[in-house]
Amino acid sequence: MTSKFGKVAVLMGGKSAEREISLMSGKCVLAALRSNGVDAHAFDPAERDLTELRRDGYARCFVALHGRGGEDGTVQGALEVLGLPYTGSGVMGSAIGMDKWRTKMIWLANGLPTPRYRILSGRDDWKAVAADLGLPLIVKPANEGSTLGLTRVNSVSQLPEAYELAAKKYHDMALAEQFIDGPEYTASIVAEETLPLIRIEAPQGNYDYQNKYFTDDTKYHCPCGLEPAVEDRLKALALQAFRLVGCVGWGRVDLMLDAQGRPWLLEVNTIPGMTDHSLVPMAARAAGIAFEDLCVRILESAHVE
């Protein structure tokens, strides 16, 4: 049934700050594909040259790399050169989706709601930043995922340390963002279909790297508790936001609702986690799609631009 895929490489690991999560995702995907009869093999670009994919007879790739070098268009460009079909967004969609600043500019130019923001530098007047965006506010790297380097800032005195974490530890441009006080939701998209929304309830509202992957304190609600008409509007908004950035295949769009019930788009994730804590598999289960079948659906969408 699944021999039509040929030999499949599950790209996992890599060299980014999210290597640990990528290995977890990749191993889950690998097991799922093999359970469906796919001739799938692990392939770590940190340990092997991508040209070996052609040499070793791979026919397509399931990209389970997170962060830089895997989610930012870099590996997608290499796979384009090799002529190998791969899962997820292409070079442009991956590059823009990884860049929170340029994603916001595209959304704003098209009239989509996203929190106000400022690009930070070490020379900024921190009081002016706080006055502009209000407190609390969020500081995060502009080009990292998995909430790495994210800080909720409650006072002006916390801004320098939050900036140092986001910009220096992760070698990145830092972004300060207006804090939206309300529930957080995520919309999973697979093959142009938006799956049921998930409402995320993190301890003290802090959905950071630790609470995302390594604790059981964060609660996930699916069904999300919204009226069907409201959920449908948010799903349509998420799909529009996804397409505007140039994303295809599968991914995730995170958003929040404020106290007035207005939606605010946060970011796009072009290669979401596929671990036992991950949200796309959770939404798929709510839609009646088993994890093994989800992985095959994603693999079926592999393409070359």
Q: What's the CA gap between 217 and 205, in Å, rounded? A: 11
What are the CA-CA distances from residue 184 to residues 75, 179, 218 (Å)? 30, 12, 12
Which member of 207, 213, 246, 249 is catalytic? 213
Which member of 69, 93, 149, 273 is catalytic? 273
* Known catalytic residue at 18: yes
Q: Give yes or no for a contact between 71 and 270, defined as CB atoms under 8 angstroms apart.
A: yes
The answer to whether the peptide bond before residue 115 is cis (omega within 30 degrees of 0) is no
Which member of 18, 71, 172, 231 is catalytic? 18
* Known catalytic residue at 292: no
Residue 29: Cβ within 10 Å count? 29
**What single letter denotes the amino acid at residue 49?**
D
* Known catalytic residue at 213: yes
Q: Give yes or no for a contact between 305 and 80, defined as CB atoms under 8 angstroms apart.
A: yes
* Known catalytic residue at 273: yes
Both tokens assigned to 35: 């359970």
Q: What's the CA gap between 263 and 253, in Å, rounded? A: 12
Residue 256: Cβ within 10 Å count? 19
Q: What's the CA gap between 200 and 183, in Å, rounded? A: 7
* Known catalytic residue at 155: no
* Known catalytic residue at 52: no
H or E element, residue 176: strand 174-178
Which member of 58, 99, 252, 278 is catalytic? 252
H or E element, residue 54: helix 52-55
Nearest to 296 by CA among 45, 87, 82: 87
Which member of 22, 188, 211, 269 is catalytic? 269
Which member of 117, 170, 254, 278 is catalytic? 254
Nearest to 98 by CA among 25, 170, 195, 160: 170
Q: Give yes or no for a contact between 264 and 256, defined as CB atoms under 8 angstroms apart.
A: yes
Which member of 146, 188, 211, 278 is catalytic? 146
Q: Tell whether the torsion through CA atoms of 102, 103, 104 and 110 is positive or negative.
A: positive
Q: Which residues are catalytic?
A: 18, 146, 213, 252, 254, 267, 269, 273
